[in-house]
Structure 1
Amino acid sequence: MKSVALCCALLLAFAAPVLAHETKGPNGGAMVDAGAFHVELTVKDQVIDVFVTDASEKPVTIGGAKGTAILIVGGKPMRITLVAASGNRLSGTATAPLPTAPKGAVQIQLPNGTSLQGKFH
């Protein structure tokens, strides 16, 4: 009986990341859950924009927020500094062209101390 319970627990533990999903956000990028928020990532050439919304997909004002995007480019991780741009958008510029649908993670520190992390697959 213990082995059945252990197997079920392992299946649930490994299924959780699979249950996380990306959807298309209102700005045309991939959008993922980041705790109680949503994070949308858009890319154009070397510029990345990250939009933060609440659970109801209403824009969250992020003046003073900062962050980092760690994206896989050419099989290697690339770190891109993000700064608050306007409204609910952070922006950063990569040192090389980015794929239109990059894989990686975005970490954001809001001015109130809240940290957000979104993973893109």
Structure 2
Amino acid sequence: MKPLALILAALIFATPVWAQQHSHGTKGPNGGILADVAGVHVEFVPSGNALTFNVFSEDNKPVSTKGYSGSVLVVIGQDRETITLSASGENALKGEAKKPIAPGTAVTLMIRTDGGKTGQAKYKG
């Protein structure tokens, strides 16, 4: 009975996170995949070891990332790496992985906006 209760509790607490992410499945202005997270559109653009997350409004206008924070969990096979993101340029959060982001790499973004909204989005490298 206890394992079932733990699973149900996990699902109840995870539901708000699921509701905050919606993948558009479409490409953003820079060729990356867009996802709705924490009230903004976030486009993931990997390049070698660099991870760039461009932030846009609902009508795809650039949003300043001043005051934003984030981190990324990168899973390549059995290897896991957590990367802290920092604001860069007008509307981006950036970080760098130890290994290049290969196609199929699982990337999970955790983001907090300047207004305090939080959310999570999952991408494939």
What's the TM-score bracket when you normalise by the shorter of the two chains? 0.7 to 0.9
Q: Deviation at 1:109?
A: 1.4
Q: Which runs of 5+ in 1 are unaligned?
A: 1-15
Structure-2 separation of matches of 1:106 and 1:75: 18
Q: Which runs of 5+ in 2 are unaligned?
A: 1-17
Mapped pair 1:73 → 2:72: no
CA RMSD of aligned residues (A): 2.4
Structure-2 separation of matches of 1:30 and 1:102: 14
CA contact (8 A) 1:22 1:120 kept: no
Match of 2:58 in 1: 55
Structure-1 separation of matches of 2:116 and 2:66: 13
TM-score (norm 1): 0.74
Query: 1:42-83, CA deviations, whole angstroms, 9 ceiling, x for partnerless residues?
Result: 111101100111111111111132211112212433211100
CA contact (8 A) 2:38 2:112 kept: no
TM-score (norm 2): 0.72
Mapped pair 1:92 → 2:92: no
Q: Which runs of 4+ in 1 moved over 4 A?
A: none
CA contact (8 A) 1:65 1:84 kept: yes
| Identity fraction in percent | 30
Q: Report matched runs for 1:97-112 at 5 Å.
A: 97-100=100-103, 102-112=105-115
